[in-house]
Structure 1
């Protein structure tokens, strides 16, 4: 298989991997299930990376993007991988550019407001009720895809729970996908076996590479109308959000800020 562009970027979150359900009444937390999720996220990312290399990729960056960006067991990754990790950098997909052939999302999750979806949230389960861009609710998948789209890099693959995959297929109908588990509630699911998920990711990523010419970029129409609803009024009051002219976002109501920005890069 000859890929025209031989560089790929794998974004890795932890909530959407097989058998990750978090702490009852809380998010993924830092207990035994989180420890498992970190390892499983590594193995699922590695399955994707191995498939990419087998299909002709010459460079694969695995981006550890859950929380503060230091979660994965990097020693379990194929030694040909490069690893983006940590926090404090600007934007998404550090150093992505037009030379990349595609981005993949491993372990991502459904957005906030998704009924009966395990660990669904948008950037923070305690801060935000929703993000809207141009009137449509979006989650982390859409935002990250739009960053890649700025560099004409398509989304080619997503793995997550069934509810998140429904959203991914609606936003990116061209992609290959793997459902890792069927959500039952915020903290419960019926999951596929972790090893079976890795096997399926490996096979589906190879298919995505075979279909690379069918893959498309995801982009927002600019300028962007941004609306962010917070779960607390004090968070809305304290939000440092500025529009294209440097004016603070207005208040739609006590919990909701809105404004116009030139690009998604203005928010991250």
Structure 2
């Protein structure tokens, strides 16, 4: 059995402050240890269940957070940024299932801890076919388009309703509950580990029983991407098939989930470039 795991940071227990989320911040080392510990718990449980190939995509920030020296030897790591298809690079390479761990709520979710969708600096909100979209939804559609079902999602409680709506066959495990952008509640490390192991066992069992199915787009996907600066829209509106709706908003009709995710990534990268340009102009 071959399992793909995408691990983000904001939806993990023990993550409670901006001081943890990026290199150079005073508590970033704590975040690395938490992320690596979670990956090792997963790897250990997979070995018990007979999963013989585990790929873990480091999917937060610059995507080099998991400690390579301390990670379980049974794990193959995907690290580094920027990379095509970001949090799910390689999921199309013949995996039986995907698991999304440490995922957070969509940008615009009231109460979601550090809620955002792909780029908190560039993107205000994203809607897919009129629905507020999370990274979970965009990534599940991409995986599903390649025949890979999502069987476990673990993260902020605020993500539950979207998971239950789009992938009801997937196990949802709340690892924390956001009480605002910078406040969350979570259980002890030992209890989190017990529940995570149980959730992995249940997800693999559902997969073996044929309960899981890929989430595939039903026709075109209409994206509405609201940006945080009109300059980002000035530049990104030049992308093929992008339609400028107002100062901050682009509409894009995607032919596939791959097309949709590529557009979101390109808009984010253009926004990063614009932001860097403005900093340079300020001297």
- TM-score norm. by structure 1 comes to 0.89
Q: 1:241: how far off?
A: 6.0
Q: 1:95: how far off?
A: 2.7
**2:249 pairs with 1:256:** yes
Conserved in 2, the CA contact under 8 Å of 1:117 and 1:183?
Answer: yes
Provide the C-alpha distance between the structure 2 equivalents of 1:83 and 1:128, rounded to a whole number of angstroms: 27
**Any stretches of 5+ residues in structure 2 without a counterpart?**
263-283
> 2:60 pairs with 54, 62, 66, which one?
66
Q: 1:216: how far off?
A: 1.9
Conserved in 2, the CA contact under 8 Å of 1:44 and 1:197?
Answer: no
Q: What are the equivalent positions in structure 2 for 1:125-144 lying under 5 Å apart?
A: 125-144=120-139
Conserved in 1, the CA contact under 8 Å of 2:32 and 2:65?
Answer: yes
Conserved in 1, the CA contact under 8 Å of 2:22 and 2:61?
Answer: no
> 1:161 pairs with 156, 171, 195, which one?
156
1:16 matched to which residue of 2?
11
Number of residue pairs matched by the alignment: 257
> 1:100 pairs with 95, 100, 106, which one?
95
Please list the CA deviations of residues 131-165 of structure 1 after superposition, one character each: whole Å capped at 9, or x if unmatched: 12222221100111111111111001011121123
Please list the CA deviations of residues 16-49 of structure 1 after superposition, one character each: whole Å capped at 9, or x if unmatched: 100212228xx93443443222221221222222
Please list the CA deviations of residues 227-259 of structure 1 after superposition, one character each: whole Å capped at 9, or x if unmatched: 1011211111121663xxx34x11111110012
Conserved in 2, the CA contact under 8 Å of 1:15 and 1:37?
Answer: no
Please list the CA deviations of residues 93-142 of structure 1 after superposition, one character each: whole Å capped at 9, or x if unmatched: 33333631110011110010111111111112222121122222211001
**2:198 pairs with 1:203:** yes
Provide the C-alpha distance between the structure 1 equivalents of 2:238 and 2:218, rounded to a whole number of angstroms: 20
Residues 165, 28 of structure 1: CA spacing in aligned structure 2 closer, same or farther, 3 A cutoff?
farther
> 1:76 pairs with 64, 70, 86, which one?
70
Q: Which has the higher contact order (CA 8 A, sep 6+)?
A: 1
Moved over 4 A (4+): none
Conserved in 1, the CA contact under 8 Å of 2:141 and 2:217?
Answer: yes
Whose helix fraction is larger, Structure 1's or Structure 2's? 2
**2:164 pairs with 1:193:** no
Residues 136, 191 of structure 1: CA spacing in aligned structure 2 closer, same or farther, 3 A cutoff?
same
> 2:51 pairs with 47, 50, 57, which one?
57
Provide the C-alpha distance between the structure 2 equivalents of 1:147 and 1:241, rounded to a whole number of angstroms: 24
Please list the CA deviations of residues 50-88 of structure 1 after superposition, one character each: whole Å capped at 9, or x if unmatched: 222221111000110111110011233321111111123
Residues 68, 96 of structure 1: CA spacing in aligned structure 2 closer, same or farther, 3 A cutoff?
same
